[in-house]
Amino acid sequence: MANPKITFIGAGSSVFMKNIVGDILQRKALSGAEVRLMDINPTRLEESAVIAGKLVKTLGVKATVKTYSNQREALDGTNFVVVCFQIGGYEPSTVIDFDVPKKYNLRQTIADTLGVGGIMRGLRTVPHLWSICEDMLEVAPDAIMLQYVNPMAINTWAIAEKYPSIKQVGLCHSVQGTAMELAIDLGIPYEEIRYRSAGINHMAFYLKFEHRQADGSYKDLYPELFRAYREGRAPKPTWNPRCPNKVRYEMMTRLGYFVTESSEHFAEYTPYFIKEGREDLIKKFGIPLDEYPKRCVEQIAKWKKTSEDYKKADRIEVKQSKEYASSIVNSVWTGEPSVIYGNLRNNGVITNLPNNAAVEVPCLVDDNGLQPTYIGDLPPQLTALIRTNINVQELTVAALMTENREHIYHAAMMDPHTAAELDLDQIWNLVDDLLEAHGGMLPDWTHGPRKQRVA
């Protein structure tokens, strides 16, 4: 059987690249893959190539590793495209996304998916994703894009809107990652849990969360989740002591369902938890303000040490990660079926959400590609909350598609957290400040004089 060609755009994200390449090369049918690494940073690209080469050596497989600085060359004839870049990086862009809103007393936790931070990241990121799509149409029209970049929903929506023929899926590990966390909270092996989730990226909900019994039947675990939270047995401590994960359990008691993305994310997708003058809420729910910049600083410091260790090591330990990429590649390449959670254009899969929205649902994967499964209507309280996030995504995509700067302000207006904290003049001025601060990181059409409102 022929070996797949797998291109990584943003391969300088070395830790992520290592996990995905390690997953892929541990699969027999993929062990001879041609791994193409592309990045604009030559130092990071070289580091990633060294790591990938040592993974090949450690596993004793016949895979080959090639490096590219030219995107189109890296894509030419490829079968799969893994996108994992961050436009603007921690500095300057993430710092801007946090520091400028602070001047308006608008505080954030992660700022990569929704809110003014997510809007700005979308404006920075989508044009570069579109450039990949343009190259794919020219030199790899049948390739599948596995897109790991935030803001996931905005990105997936914008690709489907402008390049509907591109085969793509947005991938996140929040569904399976949260299921693993809940299994720990309940003291149940993850392998014994069955779940079904649906919604949008970072705001999908477990419609079913069950435990397989000895007789083959399944027990609903929601009563136990409610009981564990009420009795103080859940949530248990997480990997990050700054993030106690209380927000999601509290929202479960209000909505009846558990959301798939972390409490630190979810706190800024709603107007309920981060409020000026309400430090009691910050303390009660353990809201980790400025969490993402802290993680960035820690990860940069950790990578300096890790990269040196990898350079010195002859072999690199390989463990299976919880990412879906290798499963998708294996299923498409071999026809062996699998089920993953992916982000795609809705097209009626969730019947009470807009058809053009990007939704996150279970998908069957085989040699026919990715096939989303039908969900039907979500409970009305869930769709009501999800739509508040879709409003922001839709207007950000509209701004990108029409190059209409006014829609950027409209998107910020509709953001639940921003609107709960700032008045209209503050929102308009904040957007102006963010556009100016990002400068050339944003498309040209985002700059220039703002239209005057008619009194």
H-type helices in 286-423, by residue range?
Answer: 291-312, 325-334, 380-402, 406-414, 416-421
Q: CA 433, CA 115: separation in Å to the nearest integer?
A: 15
To which H or E segment does residue 238 belong?
none
**Please, what is the angle between helix 95-102 and helix 424-438, to 10°?**
150
Peptide bond into 372 cis (omega under 30): no
173 catalytic per annotation: yes
Catalytic residue (one of 173, 211, 417, 438)? 173
Query: Considering only CA atoms, which of 265, 272, 254 is closest in space to residue 288?
Result: 265
Q: CA 182, CA 188: separation in Å to the nearest integer?
A: 9
Amino acid at 391: N
How buried is residue 2: exposed, middle or buried, by Cβ count under 10 Å (0-12/13-18/19+)? exposed
Amino acid at 168: Q
Do residues 343 and 328 lie in contact, with contact meaning Cβ atoms separated by under 8 Å? no
Please give the full DSSP string across 200-233, using - where no structure is assigned. ETTEEEEEEEEEE-TTS-EEE-HHHHHHHHHTT-
150 is in an annotated binding site: yes
Measured CA to CA in angstroms, residue 289 lies from 156, 243, 273, 306, 388 at distances of 27, 10, 11, 27, 22
Q: CA 345, CA 242: separation in Å to the nearest integer?
A: 35
Q: Does residue 3 sit in helix, strand or coil?
A: coil
438 is in an annotated binding site: no
Q: CA 13, CA 335: separation in Å to the nearest integer?
A: 29
Q: Where are the beta strands (DSSP E) in 70-158?
A: 80-83, 144-147
Q: CA 196, CA 182: separation in Å to the nearest integer?
A: 14
CA 46 to chain centroid: 26
Q: CA 235, CA 285: separation in Å to the nearest integer?
A: 11
84 is in an annotated binding site: no
Query: Considering only CA atoms, which of 10, 18, 64, 57 is closest in space to residue 37?
Result: 10
Task: List, by residue number, the catalytic residues.
Answer: 173
Binding residues for substrate: 150
